[in-house]
Amino acid sequence: MAFDQMKLPYVIMTNNDVILRKDTMRWLVADGGPFVTGIGVSSMDQTRTTDATNKRKPSRLLVILIRKEVWTQIGGFDESMITWASDCDYHVRMHQADIDAHCIGVPFYHIASGTMKNADNDTRDALQKVADQDRETFRKKYGCLPGTPEYEALFQKGGAH
């Protein structure tokens, strides 16, 4: 909808368990890259300093800017993965298409697993079941799980192609 109906040039998406700096969106847009993320940190104190010139490969896609041309080329997220691994799948697909996806030194506070930690037992169990199904879908697609050395190998020269 954002790209097709609203004709936006980019979209910024975040997980629901992050706290952004007031200038995060400005830095992501100003970078100009087709797919840009910041750095997740474990405390608000760590968000006080930034170095937007510090670029590296992204490791976690919790706060991302995606430009329309990426969405047009790659398509949407794999909807067979509902809650957990579709961002990792998107990352692999961008690598396969030689799209520059990078992280800049703009920190955001990630309240790791905030949704799971604050959910009641039934909701947490249901979310865990879906996350496990998503992991299995990803494993069937790529032969590995995110966060493993085999997953990292997908991003080496010749990997995942």
The per-residue DSSP string of 2-56 comes to TTTTS--SEEEEE-TTEE--TTHHHHHHHH--SEEEEEEESSSGGGS--EEEEEE
- DSSP helix/strand/coil, 75: coil
Report the predicted TM-score, pTM, of the whole model to 2 decimal places. 0.86
- DSSP helix/strand/coil, 88: helix
Report how far residue 77's alpha carbon sits from residue 85's, in angstroms, rounded to the nearest whole number.
10
Q: CB burial class (10 A; 0-12, 13-18, 19+) of residue 119?
A: middle
Predicted confidence pLDDT, tens digits, the chain (161 residues): 999 999 999 999 998 889 999 999 999 999 999 999 999 998 999 999 999 999 988 877 889 999 999 999 999 999 999 888 999 999 999 999 999 999 999 999 988 766 767 778 898 889 889 999 999 999 999 999 998 999 999 988 655 54
Question: What pLDDT was estimated at residue 161?
Answer: 46
Torsion of CA 123, 132, 37, 152, to 10 degrees: 160
Question: What pLDDT was estimated at residue 16?
Answer: 82
- For residue 1, CA distances in Å to 9, 62, 68, 76, 144 come to 12, 21, 11, 11, 32
- Map tokens 């109906």 to a residue: 5
- DSSP helix/strand/coil, 107: strand
Instruction: For residue 37, give the nearest of 101, 131, 112 by alpha carbon.
Output: 101
